[in-house]
Copies of this chain bind each other. A is one copy, B any other.
Amino acid sequence: MPNSYAPLRAPRRLLFGPGPSLVAPRVYAAMSQTIVGHLDPFFFEVADQVRSLIGYAFSTANQFNMAISGTGSSGMETAVANFAEPGRKFALLSNGYFADRIGEMARRQGAEVVRLAKEWGQPFDPQEAREFIKRERPHMVAFVQAETSTGMYNQGKPFCEAAHEVGALAIADCVTSLGGMPVLVDENGIDIAYSCTQKGLACPPGLAPVTVSPRALERLKARTTPVQSWYLDLQLLDTYYTGHKYHHTASATLFYALREALAMVAEEGLEQRWERHRRNHLAFVAGIEAMGLEMLVPEGHRLWTLNTPRVPAGVDEAKVRQYLLDERSMEIAGGFGPLAGKIFRIGLMGFGSTGENAILVLESLEAALKAQGYKPAGNGPAAAEKALAAAV
Protein backbone atom coordinates (compact mmCIF):
# COMPACT_ATOMS: atom_id res chain seq x y z
CA MET A 1 0.00 0.00 0.00
CA PRO A 2 1.16 3.56 -0.62
CA ASN A 3 1.99 5.21 2.70
CA SER A 4 0.51 8.54 1.78
CA TYR A 5 -2.85 9.52 0.28
CA ALA A 6 -3.92 12.97 -0.77
CA PRO A 7 -7.15 13.90 1.00
CA LEU A 8 -10.13 13.04 -1.16
CA ARG A 9 -11.32 15.85 -3.37
CA ALA A 10 -14.63 15.24 -5.10
CA PRO A 11 -15.54 16.99 -8.35
CA ARG A 12 -18.59 19.24 -8.25
CA ARG A 13 -21.24 17.64 -10.40
CA LEU A 14 -24.48 19.07 -11.64
CA LEU A 15 -26.69 16.08 -10.91
CA PHE A 16 -29.60 15.94 -13.37
CA GLY A 17 -29.88 12.21 -13.83
CA PRO A 18 -32.48 9.91 -12.25
CA GLY A 19 -30.71 10.35 -8.89
CA PRO A 20 -28.83 11.06 -6.82
CA SER A 21 -30.02 14.64 -7.15
CA LEU A 22 -28.39 17.85 -5.92
CA VAL A 23 -28.18 18.23 -2.15
CA ALA A 24 -28.84 21.51 -0.35
CA PRO A 25 -25.94 23.06 1.61
CA ARG A 26 -28.09 22.89 4.75
CA VAL A 27 -28.26 19.09 4.41
CA TYR A 28 -24.49 18.84 3.99
CA ALA A 29 -24.05 21.02 7.06
CA ALA A 30 -26.26 18.72 9.15
CA MET A 31 -24.61 15.62 7.78
CA SER A 32 -21.07 16.65 8.59
CA GLN A 33 -21.75 17.13 12.29
CA THR A 34 -20.10 14.81 14.80
CA ILE A 35 -21.85 11.50 15.19
CA VAL A 36 -23.56 10.12 18.27
CA GLY A 37 -24.16 6.49 19.12
CA HIS A 38 -27.13 4.54 17.78
CA LEU A 39 -28.62 4.30 21.30
CA ASP A 40 -27.96 7.93 22.25
CA PRO A 41 -31.03 9.89 23.43
CA PHE A 42 -30.20 12.45 20.75
CA PHE A 43 -30.18 9.79 18.06
CA PHE A 44 -33.66 8.64 19.06
CA GLU A 45 -34.85 12.25 19.10
CA VAL A 46 -33.68 12.60 15.50
CA ALA A 47 -35.09 9.19 14.55
CA ASP A 48 -38.49 10.16 16.02
CA GLN A 49 -38.52 13.36 13.98
CA VAL A 50 -37.58 11.36 10.90
CA ARG A 51 -40.40 8.94 11.60
CA SER A 52 -43.06 11.60 11.85
CA LEU A 53 -41.69 13.57 8.89
CA ILE A 54 -41.69 10.41 6.75
CA GLY A 55 -45.39 10.08 7.54
CA TYR A 56 -45.94 13.67 6.40
CA ALA A 57 -43.98 13.17 3.16
CA PHE A 58 -45.97 10.02 2.36
CA SER A 59 -49.29 11.80 3.24
CA THR A 60 -50.26 9.09 5.67
CA ALA A 61 -51.58 8.77 9.20
CA ASN A 62 -49.65 5.49 9.57
CA GLN A 63 -47.60 5.34 12.75
CA PHE A 64 -45.30 2.63 11.45
CA ASN A 65 -42.83 4.73 9.47
CA MET A 66 -39.11 4.25 9.46
CA ALA A 67 -35.89 4.74 7.54
CA ILE A 68 -34.26 1.42 6.62
CA SER A 69 -30.45 1.36 6.88
CA GLY A 70 -29.71 0.81 3.20
CA THR A 71 -30.40 2.48 -0.13
CA GLY A 72 -33.78 2.64 -1.89
CA SER A 73 -33.26 -0.91 -3.15
CA SER A 74 -33.14 -2.10 0.43
CA GLY A 75 -36.54 -0.45 0.87
CA MET A 76 -37.83 -2.57 -1.99
CA GLU A 77 -36.32 -5.68 -0.44
CA THR A 78 -37.81 -4.78 2.95
CA ALA A 79 -41.28 -4.56 1.45
CA VAL A 80 -40.91 -7.83 -0.44
CA ALA A 81 -39.08 -9.83 2.26
CA ASN A 82 -41.60 -8.92 4.94
CA PHE A 83 -44.75 -9.39 2.87
CA ALA A 84 -44.11 -11.94 0.12
CA GLU A 85 -44.47 -15.46 1.46
CA PRO A 86 -43.22 -18.78 0.14
CA GLY A 87 -45.77 -20.47 -2.11
CA ARG A 88 -48.21 -17.57 -2.03
CA LYS A 89 -49.34 -15.60 -5.02
CA PHE A 90 -47.68 -12.24 -5.65
CA ALA A 91 -49.23 -10.15 -8.44
CA LEU A 92 -47.09 -7.68 -10.28
CA LEU A 93 -48.11 -4.80 -12.52
CA SER A 94 -45.10 -4.30 -14.70
CA ASN A 95 -44.32 -1.60 -17.21
CA GLY A 96 -40.65 -1.00 -16.45
CA TYR A 97 -37.45 -2.31 -14.93
CA PHE A 98 -38.20 -1.69 -11.27
CA ALA A 99 -41.47 -3.60 -11.34
CA ASP A 100 -39.63 -6.62 -12.68
CA ARG A 101 -37.01 -6.26 -10.00
CA ILE A 102 -39.76 -6.48 -7.38
CA GLY A 103 -40.82 -9.70 -9.12
CA GLU A 104 -37.27 -11.04 -9.03
CA MET A 105 -37.08 -10.35 -5.31
CA ALA A 106 -40.46 -11.99 -4.69
CA ARG A 107 -39.38 -15.12 -6.58
CA ARG A 108 -36.25 -15.29 -4.44
CA GLN A 109 -38.55 -15.25 -1.41
CA GLY A 110 -40.33 -18.29 -2.82
CA ALA A 111 -43.52 -16.47 -3.83
CA GLU A 112 -45.46 -17.44 -6.94
CA VAL A 113 -45.23 -14.34 -9.12
CA VAL A 114 -47.97 -13.57 -11.64
CA ARG A 115 -47.54 -10.61 -13.91
CA LEU A 116 -49.60 -8.20 -15.98
CA ALA A 117 -47.12 -6.54 -18.30
CA LYS A 118 -47.17 -3.51 -20.57
CA GLU A 119 -44.41 -2.27 -22.76
CA TRP A 120 -41.92 -0.11 -20.83
CA GLY A 121 -43.36 3.38 -20.59
CA GLN A 122 -46.92 2.43 -21.59
CA PRO A 123 -49.75 3.05 -19.09
CA PHE A 124 -52.05 0.37 -17.70
CA ASP A 125 -55.72 0.28 -18.52
CA PRO A 126 -57.18 0.50 -14.98
CA GLN A 127 -60.02 -1.84 -15.92
CA GLU A 128 -57.63 -4.47 -17.24
CA ALA A 129 -55.50 -4.16 -14.11
CA ARG A 130 -58.56 -4.59 -11.90
CA GLU A 131 -59.65 -7.67 -13.82
CA PHE A 132 -56.18 -9.17 -13.58
CA ILE A 133 -56.13 -8.71 -9.81
CA LYS A 134 -59.65 -10.04 -9.35
CA ARG A 135 -58.93 -13.05 -11.54
CA GLU A 136 -55.65 -13.92 -9.85
CA ARG A 137 -56.81 -13.27 -6.27
CA PRO A 138 -53.25 -12.85 -5.04
CA HIS A 139 -51.90 -12.48 -1.53
CA MET A 140 -49.98 -9.31 -2.51
CA VAL A 141 -50.17 -6.78 -5.33
CA ALA A 142 -47.14 -4.68 -6.24
CA PHE A 143 -46.75 -1.76 -8.60
CA VAL A 144 -44.35 1.07 -9.23
CA GLN A 145 -45.87 4.48 -8.67
CA ALA A 146 -42.90 6.28 -10.19
CA GLU A 147 -40.97 4.13 -12.67
CA THR A 148 -37.40 5.41 -12.73
CA SER A 149 -36.55 3.38 -15.82
CA THR A 150 -39.18 5.11 -17.99
CA GLY A 151 -40.34 8.34 -16.33
CA MET A 152 -43.87 7.03 -15.94
CA TYR A 153 -46.33 7.74 -13.11
CA ASN A 154 -48.92 5.19 -11.97
CA GLN A 155 -50.75 6.75 -9.08
CA GLY A 156 -52.25 3.36 -8.35
CA LYS A 157 -55.59 3.91 -6.64
CA PRO A 158 -57.49 1.38 -8.81
CA PHE A 159 -54.80 -1.27 -8.20
CA CYS A 160 -55.04 -0.79 -4.44
CA GLU A 161 -58.84 -0.90 -4.49
CA ALA A 162 -58.85 -4.14 -6.47
CA ALA A 163 -56.20 -5.59 -4.15
CA HIS A 164 -58.35 -4.87 -1.13
CA GLU A 165 -61.44 -6.32 -2.78
CA VAL A 166 -59.69 -9.70 -2.98
CA GLY A 167 -58.08 -9.40 0.48
CA ALA A 168 -54.60 -8.62 -0.82
CA LEU A 169 -52.23 -5.87 0.31
CA ALA A 170 -50.72 -3.33 -2.05
CA ILE A 171 -47.01 -2.46 -2.22
CA ALA A 172 -46.01 0.72 -4.06
CA ASP A 173 -42.52 1.70 -5.17
CA CYS A 174 -42.41 5.47 -4.61
CA VAL A 175 -38.70 5.88 -5.16
CA THR A 176 -39.02 8.68 -7.70
CA SER A 177 -42.26 10.25 -6.48
CA LEU A 178 -41.62 10.96 -2.78
CA GLY A 179 -40.92 14.63 -2.20
CA GLY A 180 -41.57 15.57 -5.81
CA MET A 181 -45.13 14.61 -6.64
CA PRO A 182 -48.22 13.19 -4.91
CA VAL A 183 -47.62 9.81 -3.30
CA LEU A 184 -50.80 10.01 -1.17
CA VAL A 185 -50.42 6.71 0.62
CA ASP A 186 -53.71 6.91 2.51
CA GLU A 187 -55.80 8.39 -0.28
CA ASN A 188 -54.58 5.77 -2.75
CA GLY A 189 -54.91 2.93 -0.25
CA ILE A 190 -51.27 1.86 -0.43
CA ASP A 191 -50.41 -0.59 2.36
CA ILE A 192 -46.63 -0.64 2.07
CA ALA A 193 -44.74 2.22 0.40
CA TYR A 194 -40.99 2.63 0.19
CA SER A 195 -38.70 5.21 -1.31
CA CYS A 196 -35.14 6.49 -1.25
CA THR A 197 -33.54 9.63 0.11
CA GLN A 198 -31.55 10.70 -2.95
CA LYS A 199 -34.21 11.88 -5.41
CA GLY A 200 -37.19 14.06 -4.46
CA LEU A 201 -35.93 14.42 -0.89
CA ALA A 202 -32.57 15.81 -2.06
CA CYS A 203 -30.49 13.96 0.47
CA PRO A 204 -27.43 11.73 -0.10
CA PRO A 205 -28.23 8.03 -0.63
CA GLY A 206 -28.08 5.52 2.20
CA LEU A 207 -31.52 5.25 3.79
CA ALA A 208 -34.90 4.02 2.57
CA PRO A 209 -38.08 5.60 3.99
CA VAL A 210 -40.83 3.03 4.47
CA THR A 211 -44.40 3.24 5.72
CA VAL A 212 -46.71 0.36 6.67
CA SER A 213 -50.48 0.53 7.16
CA PRO A 214 -52.18 -0.87 10.28
CA ARG A 215 -53.76 -3.56 8.07
CA ALA A 216 -50.34 -4.60 6.76
CA LEU A 217 -48.93 -4.62 10.26
CA GLU A 218 -51.64 -7.05 11.32
CA ARG A 219 -50.73 -9.31 8.42
CA LEU A 220 -47.09 -9.13 9.44
CA LYS A 221 -47.84 -10.07 13.02
CA ALA A 222 -49.87 -13.05 11.82
CA ARG A 223 -47.03 -14.39 9.62
CA THR A 224 -46.25 -17.99 10.43
CA THR A 225 -42.90 -18.25 8.63
CA PRO A 226 -39.98 -16.08 9.74
CA VAL A 227 -38.93 -13.20 7.50
CA GLN A 228 -35.85 -14.51 5.73
CA SER A 229 -33.94 -11.30 6.25
CA TRP A 230 -32.93 -10.55 9.82
CA TYR A 231 -31.44 -7.20 8.77
CA LEU A 232 -34.67 -5.99 7.16
CA ASP A 233 -37.17 -7.63 9.53
CA LEU A 234 -39.63 -4.80 10.21
CA GLN A 235 -40.81 -6.15 13.55
CA LEU A 236 -37.25 -6.39 14.85
CA LEU A 237 -36.54 -2.91 13.52
CA ASP A 238 -39.56 -1.65 15.41
CA THR A 239 -38.18 -2.99 18.70
CA TYR A 240 -35.17 -0.79 17.97
CA TYR A 241 -36.83 2.41 16.84
CA THR A 242 -39.73 2.35 19.27
CA GLY A 243 -38.42 0.03 22.00
CA HIS A 244 -34.84 1.44 21.92
CA LYS A 245 -33.50 -2.11 22.02
CA TYR A 246 -30.32 -2.68 20.03
CA HIS A 247 -30.77 -4.17 16.57
CA HIS A 248 -28.08 -2.69 14.33
CA THR A 249 -25.86 0.39 14.40
CA ALA A 250 -27.92 2.96 12.52
CA SER A 251 -25.86 5.76 11.01
CA ALA A 252 -26.26 9.08 12.82
CA THR A 253 -24.71 10.76 9.77
CA LEU A 254 -27.42 9.52 7.42
CA PHE A 255 -30.19 10.26 9.91
CA TYR A 256 -28.91 13.82 10.39
CA ALA A 257 -29.01 14.34 6.63
CA LEU A 258 -32.47 12.84 6.24
CA ARG A 259 -33.90 14.80 9.16
CA GLU A 260 -32.67 18.00 7.58
CA ALA A 261 -33.91 17.13 4.10
CA LEU A 262 -37.34 16.19 5.46
CA ALA A 263 -37.48 19.36 7.56
CA MET A 264 -36.93 21.29 4.34
CA VAL A 265 -39.86 19.42 2.75
CA ALA A 266 -42.11 20.32 5.68
CA GLU A 267 -40.99 23.94 5.65
CA GLU A 268 -41.72 24.25 1.94
CA GLY A 269 -45.01 22.36 2.28
CA LEU A 270 -45.85 19.31 0.19
CA GLU A 271 -48.35 20.99 -2.13
CA GLN A 272 -45.97 23.87 -2.88
CA ARG A 273 -43.18 21.41 -3.48
CA TRP A 274 -45.26 19.36 -5.91
CA GLU A 275 -46.31 22.54 -7.70
CA ARG A 276 -42.67 23.61 -8.01
CA HIS A 277 -41.79 20.24 -9.55
CA ARG A 278 -44.78 20.36 -11.88
CA ARG A 279 -43.99 23.87 -13.10
CA ASN A 280 -40.33 23.13 -13.79
CA HIS A 281 -41.20 19.82 -15.45
CA LEU A 282 -43.71 21.53 -17.75
CA ALA A 283 -41.19 24.23 -18.65
CA PHE A 284 -38.58 21.58 -19.40
CA VAL A 285 -41.00 19.65 -21.60
CA ALA A 286 -41.93 22.87 -23.43
CA GLY A 287 -38.23 23.36 -24.13
CA ILE A 288 -37.68 19.77 -25.21
CA GLU A 289 -40.61 19.89 -27.63
CA ALA A 290 -39.54 23.27 -28.99
CA MET A 291 -36.19 21.69 -29.84
CA GLY A 292 -38.04 19.03 -31.82
CA LEU A 293 -37.61 16.13 -29.41
CA GLU A 294 -40.49 13.89 -28.29
CA MET A 295 -41.30 12.61 -24.85
CA LEU A 296 -41.46 8.83 -24.37
CA VAL A 297 -44.37 8.87 -21.91
CA PRO A 298 -47.82 10.13 -23.01
CA GLU A 299 -48.94 13.41 -21.48
CA GLY A 300 -50.79 12.99 -18.20
CA HIS A 301 -48.71 9.93 -17.26
CA ARG A 302 -45.38 11.69 -16.85
CA LEU A 303 -43.32 12.05 -13.72
CA TRP A 304 -42.65 15.65 -12.73
CA THR A 305 -39.35 14.57 -11.24
CA LEU A 306 -37.84 12.66 -14.14
CA ASN A 307 -38.17 13.56 -17.83
CA THR A 308 -37.59 11.01 -20.55
CA PRO A 309 -37.26 12.57 -24.00
CA ARG A 310 -36.54 10.21 -26.89
CA VAL A 311 -33.07 10.40 -28.39
CA PRO A 312 -33.43 12.00 -31.85
CA ALA A 313 -32.59 9.81 -34.84
CA GLY A 314 -28.88 9.82 -35.69
CA VAL A 315 -27.76 10.92 -32.23
CA ASP A 316 -25.56 8.68 -30.06
CA GLU A 317 -26.90 9.23 -26.57
CA ALA A 318 -23.71 7.94 -24.91
CA LYS A 319 -21.75 10.69 -26.65
CA VAL A 320 -24.26 13.30 -25.47
CA ARG A 321 -23.83 12.14 -21.90
CA GLN A 322 -20.04 12.11 -22.24
CA TYR A 323 -20.09 15.65 -23.64
CA LEU A 324 -22.18 16.88 -20.72
CA LEU A 325 -19.93 15.19 -18.19
CA ASP A 326 -16.71 16.45 -19.79
CA GLU A 327 -17.79 19.95 -20.80
CA ARG A 328 -20.32 20.83 -18.11
CA SER A 329 -19.57 18.39 -15.25
CA MET A 330 -23.25 17.54 -15.65
CA GLU A 331 -24.79 14.10 -15.15
CA ILE A 332 -27.84 12.92 -17.04
CA ALA A 333 -28.64 9.27 -17.77
CA GLY A 334 -29.62 7.16 -20.74
CA GLY A 335 -32.17 4.40 -20.99
CA PHE A 336 -31.47 0.73 -20.41
CA GLY A 337 -33.03 -2.63 -21.23
CA PRO A 338 -35.46 -2.19 -24.15
CA LEU A 339 -34.93 1.58 -23.93
CA ALA A 340 -31.13 1.47 -24.19
CA GLY A 341 -29.95 4.18 -26.58
CA LYS A 342 -33.54 5.36 -27.08
CA ILE A 343 -34.20 7.85 -24.27
CA PHE A 344 -32.48 10.32 -22.03
CA ARG A 345 -33.41 10.31 -18.37
CA ILE A 346 -33.20 13.85 -17.03
CA GLY A 347 -34.11 14.58 -13.45
CA LEU A 348 -35.23 17.90 -12.06
CA MET A 349 -35.94 16.90 -8.53
CA GLY A 350 -35.70 18.03 -4.94
CA PHE A 351 -33.26 20.89 -4.48
CA GLY A 352 -32.39 20.62 -8.19
CA SER A 353 -35.90 21.38 -9.46
CA THR A 354 -35.67 25.08 -10.29
CA GLY A 355 -36.57 27.10 -13.35
CA GLU A 356 -32.92 28.12 -13.72
CA ASN A 357 -31.85 24.49 -13.76
CA ALA A 358 -34.52 23.57 -16.33
CA ILE A 359 -33.05 26.22 -18.62
CA LEU A 360 -29.45 25.30 -17.80
CA VAL A 361 -30.05 21.66 -18.68
CA LEU A 362 -31.83 22.59 -21.93
CA GLU A 363 -28.98 24.90 -22.94
CA SER A 364 -26.42 22.21 -22.15
CA LEU A 365 -28.40 19.51 -23.94
CA GLU A 366 -28.74 21.78 -26.95
CA ALA A 367 -24.96 22.26 -27.06
CA ALA A 368 -24.36 18.53 -26.72
CA LEU A 369 -26.86 17.67 -29.46
CA LYS A 370 -25.36 20.27 -31.79
CA ALA A 371 -21.91 18.75 -31.16
CA GLN A 372 -23.48 15.52 -32.45
CA GLY A 373 -24.71 17.24 -35.61
CA TYR A 374 -28.34 17.54 -34.52
CA LYS A 375 -30.09 20.77 -35.48
CA PRO A 376 -32.78 21.71 -32.94
CA ALA A 377 -36.12 22.73 -34.49
CA GLY A 378 -36.38 25.79 -32.26
CA ASN A 379 -35.05 27.49 -29.16
CA GLY A 380 -35.60 25.14 -26.21
CA PRO A 381 -34.35 27.39 -23.41
CA ALA A 382 -36.46 30.30 -24.68
CA ALA A 383 -39.57 28.11 -24.78
CA ALA A 384 -38.92 26.98 -21.22
CA GLU A 385 -38.43 30.55 -20.09
CA LYS A 386 -41.70 31.52 -21.68
CA ALA A 387 -43.51 28.64 -19.98
CA LEU A 388 -42.04 29.64 -16.63
CA ALA A 389 -43.07 33.25 -17.09
CA ALA A 390 -46.60 32.18 -18.03
CA ALA A 391 -46.85 29.96 -14.95
CA VAL A 392 -46.19 32.77 -12.49
**Chain A 66-97 per-residue mask, 1 if CB under 8 angstroms from chain B, else 0:** 00011111101100010000000000000000
- In whole Å, how far is A230's beta carbon from the nearest beta carbon of chain B? 5
Question: Which chain B residues lie closer than 8 Å to A70 at the CB level?
Answer: 69-70, 74, 231
Cβ of A28 and Cβ of B34 under 8 Å apart?
yes
Cβ of A71 and Cβ of B251 under 8 Å apart?
yes
**Chain A 9-39 per-residue mask, 1 if CB under 8 angstroms from chain B, else 0:** 1111101010110010010111111111111
Q: A69-B206, A230-B105, A252-B204 are in contact. Are A246 and B10 (CB under 8 A)?
A: no
Question: Which chain B residues lie closer than 8 Å to A269 at the CB level?
Answer: 3
Cβ of A267 and Cβ of B109 under 8 Å apart?
no
- In whole Å, how far is A16's beta carbon from the nearest beta carbon of chain B? 10
Contact partner, A109, options B8, B228, B256, Cβ 8 Å: B228
Check: A390 CB closer than 8 A to any chain B CB.
Answer: no
Cβ of A331 and Cβ of B40 under 8 Å apart?
yes
Contact partner, A72, options B41, B107, B230, B248, Cβ 8 Å: B248
Question: Which chain B residues lie closer than 8 Å to A26 at the CB level?
Answer: 7
Check: A160 CB closer than 8 A to any chain B CB.
Answer: no
- In whole Å, how far is A7's beta carbon from the nearest beta carbon of chain B? 6
Check: A53 CB closer than 8 A to any chain B CB.
Answer: yes
Check: A2 CB closer than 8 A to any chain B CB.
Answer: yes
Check: A234 CB closer than 8 A to any chain B CB.
Answer: no
Cβ of A8 and Cβ of B260 under 8 Å apart?
yes
A13 to B36, CA, bound (A): 6
Check: A108 CB closer than 8 A to any chain B CB.
Answer: yes
For chain A, residues 190 to 205, give those with C-beta under 8 angstroms from any C-beta of chain B: 196, 198, 204-205
- In whole Å, how far is A190's beta carbon from the nearest beta carbon of chain B? 20
Question: Which chain B residues lie closer than 8 Å to A69 at the CB level?
Answer: 70-71, 74, 206
Check: A348 CB closer than 8 A to any chain B CB.
Answer: no
A37 to B332, CA, bound (A): 10
Number of this chain's copies in the assembly equals 2
**Chain A 129-165 per-residue mask, 1 if CB under 8 angstroms from chain B, else 0:** 0000000000000000000000000000000000000
Q: Count of A residues near B, CB < 8 Å?
A: 85
Cβ of B56 and Cβ of A1 under 8 Å apart?
yes
Cβ of B1 and Cβ of A249 under 8 Å apart?
no
Cβ of A266 and Cβ of B205 under 8 Å apart?
no
Cβ of B246 and Cβ of A336 under 8 Å apart?
yes
Cβ of B108 and Cβ of A229 under 8 Å apart?
yes
**Chain A 242-274 per-residue mask, 1 if CB under 8 angstroms from chain B, else 0:** 000011111111101101100100110100000
Check: A226 CB closer than 8 A to any chain B CB.
Answer: yes
A23 to B23, CA, bound (A): 23
Check: A382 CB closer than 8 A to any chain B CB.
Answer: no
A29 to B20, CA, bound (A): 20
Interface centre among A2, A26, A46 (most CB of B within 10 A): A2
Check: A386 CB closer than 8 A to any chain B CB.
Answer: no
A35 to B77, CA, bound (A): 25
**Besides the contacts A7-B29, A20-B35, what 14 more A-B pairs have beta carbons closer than 8 Å?**
A1-B56, A3-B267, A8-B30, A8-B33, A13-B36, A19-B249, A32-B32, A70-B231, A73-B231, A77-B231, A196-B249, A205-B251, A246-B336, A253-B254
21 contacts between A and B (CB under 8 A): A4-B267, A5-B263, A12-B34, A19-B37, A20-B37, A35-B204, A36-B331, A37-B331, A71-B248, A71-B249, A71-B250, A73-B230, A73-B231, A73-B249, A74-B231, A77-B231, A108-B230, A198-B249, A206-B253, A246-B336, A251-B254
Chain A positions within 8 Å of B, measured between CB atoms, are: 1-5, 7-13, 15, 17, 19-20, 23, 26, 28-42, 46, 52-53, 56, 69-74, 76-77, 81, 101, 104-105, 107-109, 196, 198, 204-206, 226-232, 246-254, 256-257, 259-260, 263, 266-267, 269, 325, 331, 333, 336
